A = this chain, B = another copy of it.
């Protein structure tokens, strides 16, 4: 299909939408970040267009939450599902079924990891302020830093080591959306937990290498230096609260 891709996501944060943005950017795809466009009467853009994707009275197959990707007649929700589709469309996934399933498995594991990152600052109620659950967050973050984070880092380090292909890729011998997502995980974790990540860096040098090689790819380097790349912030998933690091 030659229709442009339409990304519907919160306009002011990286969040889960960033995993989709990175895939679109890496492939040089023609896309619009719809909710970041100004609202205009009669035009399907701005926040109202994003909210319509979630409204089952307007959209027959509504998403539970953003991001949502529109492409031609398709409207696709859930980040790993969007990437599964885009991987095939944009040449960012293996062609064989076994490789696509393995990549999807790794992406779903990153999705679980990301949810655990989110829950370090919102362990009790995602709709309430961090400040109102800071004591519980300190406990959850401690468990994350000492138990969960090393386990995830070790896992992906082993996956990289076990990939027999040349180059530092998660799956096979060329870039997939999984590498882009792993770059984002490492970048985000370094923002949120700089001390913990520095402490753990010696056990996962291959993850640092992957981060750097993805960041240096021309399309990605140009994107990261553009205004299209939103900054990390304490509104997103990767938040730097010094009291949660250590």
Contacts and interface: CB of A to CB of B under 8 A. Distances in A.
A194 interface: no
**Number of identical monomers bound together in the oligomeric complex:** 2
Contacts of A127: 143, 147
Interface string A24-44: 000000000000000000000
B124 A61 contact: no
A78 B108 contact: yes
A81 B56 contact: no
A207 to B, nearest CB: 15
A165 to B, nearest CB: 12
Given A78-B105, A147-B127, A56 B158 contact: yes
A140 B162 contact: no
Contacts of A102: 61
Interface in A79-97: 80-81, 84-85
Contacts of A101: 74, 76, 81, 84-85
A162 to B, nearest CB: 5
A112 interface: yes
A3 interface: no
A161 B62 CA distance: 12
A108 B147 CA distance: 25
B74 A98 contact: yes
A64 interface: yes
A85 B56 CA distance: 28
A39 to B, nearest CB: 25
Given A56-B158, A112-B115, A162-B61, A105 B76 contact: yes
A61 B163 CA distance: 8
Nearest to A128: B143
B108 A80 contact: yes
Interface string A64-81: 100000000110111011
A201 to B, nearest CB: 20
Contacts of A18: none
A145 to B, nearest CB: 11
A63 interface: yes
A146 to B, nearest CB: 10
Nearest first, the 4 A-B pairs at minimum CB distance are: A56-B158, A125-B143, A78-B108, A64-B109
28 contacts: A56-B155, A60-B162, A60-B164, A61-B105, A61-B162, A63-B105, A64-B152, A64-B155, A77-B105, A80-B108, A81-B104, A81-B108, A84-B101, A84-B104, A85-B101, A108-B111, A112-B115, A115-B115, A119-B119, A119-B123, A123-B136, A123-B140, A124-B136, A124-B140, A125-B140, A125-B143, A126-B143, A127-B147
